[in-house]
């Protein structure tokens, strides 16, 4: 059988990088954040499959720990897992607002 699937393709690299991010504590490194950064976290609804994400709480803790870093934390309520898929219009709007220097609110 000729298996022509790429061994080092886009998804393999993305999975490896995602796993590395999940297993690396960047708390100390984030105190040096100097570029405006937006985190958009999903607040999953009751019908969401899988584990509930701790992402929002972790980003809020970073912002409390380093209040002067240029970090904006936005929450997207009733979003399953990935806000860009479940709330694409809100996602684009918030990203555009950030790029123009306006406050970001998320989806409530």
Mean pLDDT of 61-73: 92
> Distance between CA atoms of 107 and 93, rounded to whole angstroms?
10
Q: Is 89 a domain residue?
A: yes
Q: Is 4 a domain residue?
A: no
Residue with tokens 């995602």, as numbered in its chain:
18
Which tokens in the block code for residue 32? 């040096």
Number of domains in the chain: 1
Q: Is 17 a domain residue?
A: no
Q: Is 9 a domain residue?
A: no
For residue 65, the model assigns a pLDDT of: 94
Q: Which domain holds residue 67?
A: 31-108
Q: Is 72 a domain residue?
A: yes
Q: Is 10 a domain residue?
A: no
Is 69 a residue whose pLDDT tops 70? Answer: yes
Q: Is 48 a domain residue?
A: yes
**Where is pLDDT greater, at 68 or 54?**
68
For residue 68, the model assigns a pLDDT of: 95
pLDDT, averaged across the chain: 75
Q: 38: alpha, beta or left, given left = phi > 0 and alpha = psi -120 to 50?
A: beta
Residues 6 or more apart from 40 whose CB is under 8 A from it?
74, 75, 76, 83, 84, 91, 94, 106
pTM to 2 decimal places: 0.62
Mean pLDDT of 67-91: 76
């Amino acid at each position: 059988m000729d298996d022509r699937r790429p061994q080092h393709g886009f998804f393999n690299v993305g999975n490896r990088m995602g796993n590395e991010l999940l297993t690396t504590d960047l708390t100390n490194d984030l105190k040096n954040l100097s570029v405006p950064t937006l985190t958009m976290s999903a607040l999953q609804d009751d019908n969401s499959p899988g584990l509930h994400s701790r992402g929002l709480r972790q980003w809020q803790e970073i912002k409390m720990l380093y209040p002067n870093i240029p970090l904006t934390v936005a929450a997207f309520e009733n979003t399953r897992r990935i806000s860009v898929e479940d709330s694409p219009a809100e996602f684009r709007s918030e990203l555009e607002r950030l790029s123009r220097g306006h406050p970001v609110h998320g989806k409530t």
